[in-house]
Amino acid sequence: MQAKRVTFPGRILPALLLLPQLAITAVFFLWPSAEALWQSLRREDAFGTRSEFVGLDNFRQLFADPAYLASFSTTLVFSASVALLSLALGLLFAVLTERVGRGRALYQSLLIWPYAVAPALAALMWSFLFDPSIGPVAKLLGRLGLPWNHQVNGGQALILIVIASTWKQVSYNFLFFVAGLAAIPRSLLEAAAIDAASPWRTFWTIVFPLLAPTSFFLLVVNIVYAFFDTFGVVHATTQGGPAQATTTLVYKVFRDGFVGLDLGGSAAQSVVLLAIVIALTAVQFRFVERRVHY
């Protein structure tokens, strides 16, 4: 893409304009990352008074730890479920509200609301709904012959955090899909109607491919969300339990570092996460983006 170049008269003004953003990046990203990288190569004693350089020992321990590897697969299942579910539901709602004649704006505003709810509140609400002793949903499920207790059943706990995390993210996806649908020229759909495409076929051969850039962007955002931004939900509902069944990688960083006080190990986990997010984004942009733009 060709961008217009703005030329500044001197060097001081552009530097000043960049400074606030660079300062924020430095303080909140570069410094902590460097600190984590440094910490990941060291080990502290139990009282936090001394630390020594141990090389890659922390990483070696990490990948030998079955709990960490389990957390890896938990995170994969969790993230894939959240990303796919929230994308699918966001798209479904966007397509459905587009067909609503009257009150479309009302439906759309209501569907955007969950995004404005704080993660901890959303998580708490879902915990209440599914609470094994007082939750109406849990009671309903029990009556249907599906006893629900996410406090003892690891699979159910995972389902609960998937639901709570998805619920929050659907709004975001919905918003982007509504905008994406609105950007498709009406005449394309009319041309498809004249070309004898059924509504179903029009959706899959015209609308969906034209939404591909939006979907791709959202896929990246959703995976990053599921990987890194769902700490609040996990903390407020299951706290990683029962028996580590919902301990995602991010949650494990917190648990091992701040609860278990293994700063070196926790830092090593952060570094692994950092590497994952860089790799994910790079792969997605290099290999997928080229295929989705028309």
Partner 1 sequence: MAGVTLDAVRKVYPGGVEAVRGVSLDVQNGSFCVLVGPSGCGKSTLLRMVAGLETISSGTVRIGARVVNDLEPAGRDIAMVFQNYALYPHMSVYENMAYGLRNRGTPKAEIAARVAEAARILAVEPYLQRRPRELSGGQRQRVAMGRAIVRQPQVFLFDEPLSNLDAKLRVQMRVEIKRLQKSLGVTSLYVTHDQVEAMTLSDQLVVLNGGLVEQAGPPTELYRRPATRFVAGFLGSPGMNFIAGTAAEGGTIRIGDLTWPAPVGAAARPGTAVELGLRPEDLRVADDGEPALPFTVEFAEELGASRLVHGRIAGSAAAVQLPAEAAPLLGTVPVTARAEAVHLFDAETGRRL
Q: Does 206 interact with partner 1 (rule: CB under 8 A)?
A: yes
Q: Does 288 interact with partner 1 (rule: CB under 8 A)?
A: no
CA–CA gap between residue 2 and residue 23 (Å, rounded): 28
The closest of 82, 102, 21, 116 to 234, measured between CA atoms, is 82
DSSP-assigned states of every residue in 42-94: EEE-TTSS-EEE-TTHHHHHHHH-HHHHHHHHHHHHHHHHHHHHHHHHHHHHH
Q: How far is the CB of 199 from partner 1 (least distance, A)?
A: 11
Applying CB under 8 A, the span of 173-181, 207-215, 225-233, 267-275 interacting with partner 1 comes to 207-215
Terminal Cα distance for the chain, rounded: 14
Q: How far is the CB of 293 from partner 1 (least distance, A)?
A: 9
Count of residues near partner 1 by CB under 8 A: 19
Q: Does 104 interact with partner 1 (rule: CB under 8 A)?
A: no
Applying CB under 8 A, the span of 7-15, 206-214, 254-262, 280-288 interacting with partner 1 comes to 206-214
Q: Does 13 interact with partner 1 (rule: CB under 8 A)?
A: no
Please name every residue paired with 42 in a beta bridge, in sequence order, or none if there are none: 53
Pick the binder of partner 1 from 187, 200, 286, 287 (CB under 8 A).
187
Q: How far is the CB of 184 from partner 1 (least distance, A)?
A: 10
Q: Does 182 interact with partner 1 (rule: CB under 8 A)?
A: no
Q: Between the CA of residue 72 and those of 18, 117, 174, 198, 262, what are the distances in Å?
A: 38, 28, 29, 43, 19
Question: Is the separation of the CB atoms in 149 and 68 below 8 Å?
Answer: no
Q: Does 47 interact with partner 1 (rule: CB under 8 A)?
A: no
- Residue 282 CB partners (closer than 8 Å, separation 6+): none
Question: Is the separation of the CB atoms in 160 and 79 below 8 Å?
Answer: no
Pick the binder of partner 1 from 51, 205, 239, 244 (CB under 8 A).
205
Q: How far is the CB of 194 from partner 1 (least distance, A)?
A: 5
Q: Which residues bind partner 1 (CB under 8 A)?
A: 185, 187-188, 190-198, 201, 205-206, 209-210, 212, 294
